[in-house]
Amino acid sequence: MLYPLVSVNTYRMPLDPRSPWRTPEQRAEEREAKREAVLRTAARLFNERGFSAASLDEVAARLKVTKPIIYRHFANKDQILFECVRMALGQILEAAAAAKTGPGKARDRLMALMTRYAVIMTEDFGMCVVRTGDHELSEASRKEFRKLKRKIDRLIRSLIQEGVADGSIARCDVKMTSFAIAGALNWIAKWYSPDGAESAEEVAGAMVALLQGLLTRRA
């Protein structure tokens, strides 16, 4: 039986074919979303039950996956905890860097940093920094954690020193003032409840308003 000749143009591929496979960018975004889901779920569990009491089995159960899925993204529970606190400290460092190079008097820039810092302490990762404590980390992770905290402290001190120099902040013991500010802001993570009457922004505003007196009080 003879078949009619068919032009190759009949089988021309569409000009814009749709591939069923995800692009490398899409796969990277999906992987990052899964990592953050593990971290956020773990942070909430650590905050609720404490790091030692919480297990990766519970994290997996909340995510409705198996524990081996979690191990595709993280080596162990210590790495998960460190990544949780690093997320929060990284956000504070970003806010501090923006305040350091931003416009205006040092006092105004420090107030902007404190406001952002306070809000971070009402969130899952910020709470994890305070509610778990660095003693829960491995020695290597603890060193990196403390290194990040020292960097934040140096940036806060630098802003206070600038404020004293430009007259927007009262003369003070820079080290003690920095400790007082960080201590007050960190403590928000201990008592703040998302179910409370005040929003995170309201809490941040009230706390920063109280700390203003520390910066403007004159002898």
Per-residue pLDDT of the chain (219 residues; tens, 9 = 90+): 444 444 444 444 454 456 677 777 777 788 888 999 999 999 999 999 999 999 999 999 999 999 999 999 999 999 999 999 999 999 999 999 999 888 889 999 999 999 999 999 999 999 999 998 788 888 999 999 999 999 999 999 999 999 999 999 999 999 999 999 999 999 999 998 888 888 899 999 999 998 887 787 554
Is the full-model pTM beyond 0.85?
no
Alpha carbon 84 to its chain centroid, in Å, reads 7
Six-digit token pair at 124?
Answer: 């899952």
Going from the C-alpha of 207 to that of each of 59, 116, 170, 181, 189, the distances in angstroms are 33, 11, 19, 10, 12
Q: How many CA atoms lie within 13 A of 164 on its CB side?
A: 15
Give the residue from 73, 72, 187, 168 showing the smallest Cα distance to 129: 187
| Burial class, 188, CB count within 10 angstroms (exposed 0-12 / middle 13-18 / buried 19+) | buried
What pLDDT score does 7 carry? 41
Query: Which listed CATH number (3.20.20.70, 1.10.10.10, 3.40.50.720, 1.10.357.10) goes with 77-216?
Result: 1.10.357.10
58-95 core/surface letters (b: 16 or more CB in 10 A; e: else): bbbeebeeeeeebeebbeebbebbbbbbbbbbebbbeb
Between vectors from CA 116 to CA 112 and to CA 121, what angle results, nearest 5°? 145
Neighbours of 123 (CB within 10 A): 18
